[in-house]
Amino acid sequence: MKIVVIGGTGLIGSKLVSKLREHGHEAVPASPNSGVNTLTGEGLAEVLKGASVVVDVSNSPSFEEAEAMKFFTTATNNLIRYEKDAGVRHHVALSVVGTDRIAQKKPSDAEKTIRGYFRAKLMQEKLIAESSIPYSIVHATQFFEFVKSIADASTVGTTVRVAPVLIQPMAADDVASAVGRVAVGPAINGIVEVGGPQQFRLDEFVRQGLSARNDSRTVVADPAAGYFGVEVDERALVPANNARLGEIRFDTWLKESAKPAAHAAA
C-alpha cells in the first residue's frame, strides 16, 4: 500500500516512514525538501499518484494565530483537492489532545498566541471532517522530546514555573507507531486519542526531565503559571479513559536519550 507522509522528514514523520516501510508498505516522505509543498501545491499531483493513504504530520512554523490559520487552511485545502483527484481513500492527520478544550476558552492578552494556534488546529480538523474523503484524526499528548521546550518557555532567571496540572506525555516513537496503526487501518471518520503509559503532574514531568540532563534550574509548581503561559484545567492535557496508550515509560526514555550524550562525552 502506498502511503504518503506529509512532513515525512520531521521528528514524527521520519519515524513513521521507517515503521511503515518495516511493515512492507510503500511509505513516501513528502516535504519541501523533497519538492512537495502543500502551501503552493507544488509536487502534490505527482507524489499522490497511486496513493491509498495520506498522513499529514506537518506543522505550522509559527504559533501566531494568523500565520498558523493560513498554514493549516491552505495546506489542508490543497491536500484535500489533490487527494480527490488522485483517488486517495484515507486522510490521517496528527493533532493534539486538548485542542478543543484549550482553543475554546476566552484568552487573556498573554494567552492569545497559543490559543490562536489551537484554533487553527481546530479549523484544520473541521476542514478534514467536512471533506468527502474518509478520515481519521489522531490526538496525541505532549512528546517526551519537548520537555526542555516546556521548561524553557516557563523560565525566568533560574526558576521554571508551571502549573501542577495532569499531563500524560509519550515518546515520539510511540506517537509514530500509533499514527501508523491508524493509517493502515480503516478510516474511523472521527478522533482517536493516544497518550503515554503514565500520568504526571506537569511540574514533576519537567523536574524529572531537567534532572536527567543535570539542568540545575529550580522547578516550582505554580497554579497561576499555566502551560506555555496558558491557564489550563486539571485534565485539559490528558486523554480520556479509552485512549490508546504507548509502551515507553518516561524513565526508560530518559535513560535511552542520555546514551548518545554520554558516549560523546567519553
| Residue spans per domain, the chain | 2-259
Provide the pLDDT for residue 118.
Answer: 86
CATH code for the part of the protein at 2-259? 3.40.50.720
The average confidence (pLDDT) of the chain is 91
Q: How many whole angstroms separate alpha carbon 231 and alpha carbon 188?
A: 32
Q: How many whole angstroms separate alpha carbon 81 and alpha carbon 90?
A: 13
Q: Which residues, other chains included, contact 176 with Cβ-Cβ below 8 Å and sequence gap of 6+?
A: 12, 15, 16, 19
Q: How many whole angstroms separate alpha carbon 38 and alpha carbon 30?
A: 9
Residue ranges for the chain with pLDDT beneath 50: 107-112, 261-266
Provide the pLDDT for residue 149.
Answer: 94
Provide the pLDDT for residue 114.
Answer: 67
Whether 207 contacts 219, CB under 8 Å: yes
Beta bridge partners, 221, equal 162
Name the region of 89 (left: φ>0; alpha: ψ -120 to 50; beta: rest): alpha
3-state DSSP: the chain helix, strand, coil percent, rounded to 5?
45, 20, 35
Classify strands 159-162 and 155-156 as parallel, antiparallel or unpaired: antiparallel
Q: Which residues, other chains included, contact 219 with Cβ-Cβ below 8 Å and sequence gap of 6+?
A: 151, 159, 160, 162, 203, 206, 207, 210
Q: Output the pTM of the full model.
A: 0.91
Provide the pLDDT for residue 99.
Answer: 75
Q: How many whole angstroms separate alpha carbon 21 and alpha carbon 104?
A: 38
Q: How many whole angstroms separate alpha carbon 95 and alpha carbon 135?
A: 13
Q: How many whole angstroms separate alpha carbon 73 and alpha carbon 85?
A: 19
